[in-house]
Structure 1
Amino acid sequence: MPLSVMPMPAHGASSAAVSALGLRKSYGDRTVLDGVDLTVPAGSVFALLGPNGAGKTTTVKILSTLVTADGGQARVAGHDLATDPQAVRAAIGVTGQFSAVDGLITGEENMLLMADLHHLSKREGRRVAAGLLERFDLTEAARKPASTYSGGMRRRLDIAMTLVGSPEVIFLDEPTTGLDPRSRHSVWEIVRELVSAGTTVLLTTQYLEEADELADRIAVLDDGRIVAEGTAEELKRIVPGGHVRLRFSDPAAYRSAASALREAGRHDDSLTLQVPSDGSQRELRSLLDWLDAAGVEADELTVHTPDLDDVFFALTDRTHQTEETAR
């Protein structure tokens, strides 16, 4: 059963841009999705984080009407996926792992092609294309073949093409795979701008830093199941290893604190104590109140919480260990 660290809105709530309940998908005897539940609040970034083969791309394909689910229900931008797929398509944009850019034509021609597909008039199509090319800093390269673009430029063009139809919801399937750090940060800025303008983004990624940087909420998907969900900070707190480090310069203060805080790990050479903690405000306040009441003064207090790497490995390893035990 997935671990949710914070209550979520009910599926189908009016604040949800995307909601799914019990999504299932199999190919032959291989189960790809095994009852996936999602609620993505409107105007937010929601990240699906997981290893290769976890089911991230399949989830995106189902929610964007590219693949039919074997079971479950979903609504996107207020439209039922099963009964009104055309309305869903009109409300969304999709940028896949592999660029949809045609390298044989120019960036501008790629944009105008998308405008035609959205049935915009020639005048409106040129206006929209020019605006998006400028917004994504592609005006100078607009009349050059897209095959001459760098990886970052192609990805920016790909996202710009997705925006031609002014979608309410955008699915970005591993949008920065293969990009250099500068280009990756450029894409991140684009995502932030989209969300600040009211667009909802569902993002799949293998990059833990990307989820940490962008997502309002993160769901960890492993082996077709959601194994945890929450904000980045909430997820970090569910993995053991968090602690508060207290460093003392006064040996007497150190001994007094060590005597009272028996659960703390001692490092006598450096006069430091490592107190287990989830890093929450409540636990920090309790520790500080105790230090004040005891008249003990630490020279340095630092909070150490697990990062998303720790969360990712702990949760996915836990899933696989459970499966091995069941066999």
Structure 2
Amino acid sequence: MLEQYKLNVDRSDGYLIWVEIDRSGEYPRVSDVSLEILSKVRSMNDGSRIWGVVFGHAELKPLYGEIFSHGVETLYEVHDKRLCTFHPEAYADALAQIIVRTEPAVVLMGATPRGRELAPRVAAKLDAGLTADCTDLSVDDRIISMTRPAFGGNVLATIQCTAFPQMATVRPGVFPISDPSEGAKGTVIYWQYDGCGLKDIVSSENVRNEEDDITRSRILVSLGAGVKKDSIPIAESVARKLGGMVSCSRKLVEKGWFPQSRQVGQSGKSVAPDVYLAFGISGSVQHLAGISSAKRVISVNTDPDARIGEVADEIIVGDANAVLRELDRIL
């Protein structure tokens, strides 16, 4: 039987964020999406408390300073070496217990594969609503408005939960990471989990395909409906020479030219590259939302009035295929 936990709604205030730890490298690090969420919370916070929750052991101590510098005042570390490996049932139970202890108005976590598995488990334990895969957040008097794509990305829906805590997962890449606050300090509380049902993991293997993750690329050569299929190898050559990757609009995924993992936009991935080169992309509302955090946008399009021009830093009026060939030649 599912164990449920109840909150005192009248006392609920503040934000609790699951700080996801990336252990795919030599040393653990705070995931980018957790820093993005903390940055957004700091920007819209009206003085309410901010709690963070991490799972792990002593190896997380070097990360405390970074977490505090991005706004967390009190950090709960669920202290068990076995929890360095993701256990959704144990994580959900411990998170629910901490949420009842802290009584936050809002609970946020990244819409990562682990976050997508964890969030609904926690919501079920708390009998709370959950808005998944949000692309924007705003708050007014403890009530958070959560924006997410709906109907295949053709509509942006803004949702408010009627019960506390208000829960949401946030799509990676939609918010910029703000500068850390130097010298920030906080309190660490070690939360002992009883370990009921935990199993020791004998071995694990990271199967994440880094080569197909456009969200990690600093330069994206992105293709739209104005690009011919035989220009794709040229675009890939340009991307290699620039040290970037090729991404695309939804139309090229629908044509079967690219997998959805390469799609940029509300129904694809939100990206934040240093440079976004858009070839033959007109710029639907959904696509523009997916590049809102790009530092520099360069558009190549035959239509000087294409919507992408509203956000582009530079506009080249011309045939995307011809410009790709010339760029490949001179690089």
- TM-score (structure 2 length as normaliser): 0.22
Higher helix share: 1
Q: Give TM-score, length-normalised by structure 1.
A: 0.22
Q: Return the structure number with greater relative CO, CA threshold 8 A, min gap 6.
A: 1
Structure exhibiting the larger radius of gyration computed from Cα positions: 1
